[in-house]
């Protein structure tokens, strides 16, 4: 039986811009069959925002990667919100 789809919204703080973080997230998300987006945000402070949907086990795995980041990143904090999936995404975009 398939796991129900959920939505993960994460804000990742630290040295996460200019280090390939969004492409890292896209590659991991696509590898686990997730849809959504990753984009840089600047207010109230610099961070990467990730909104993605899919089966909860895959989202939990992605969350683990978000807490680590790519080699040049330094993740200081990840704020997470869980919601039911909306089904609005097709594919994974980097903005």
Residues marked active site are found at 22, 40
The whole-angstrom separation of Cα 24 and Cα 27 is 5
The whole-angstrom separation of Cα 14 and Cα 47 is 7
The whole-angstrom separation of Cα 66 and Cα 21 is 9
């Amino acid at each position: 039986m398939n796991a129900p789809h959920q939505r993960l919204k994460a804000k990742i703080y630290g040295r996460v811009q200019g280090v390939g973080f969004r492409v890292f997230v896209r590659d991991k998300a696509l590898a686990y069959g997730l849809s959504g987006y990753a984009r840089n945000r600047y207010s109230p402070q610099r961070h990467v925002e990730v909104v993605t949907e899919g089966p909860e086990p895959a989202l939990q795995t992605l969350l683990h990667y978000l807490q680590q980041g790519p080699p040049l990143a330094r993740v200081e904090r990840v704020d997470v919100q869980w919601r039911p999936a909306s089904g609005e995404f097709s594919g994974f975009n980097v903005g």
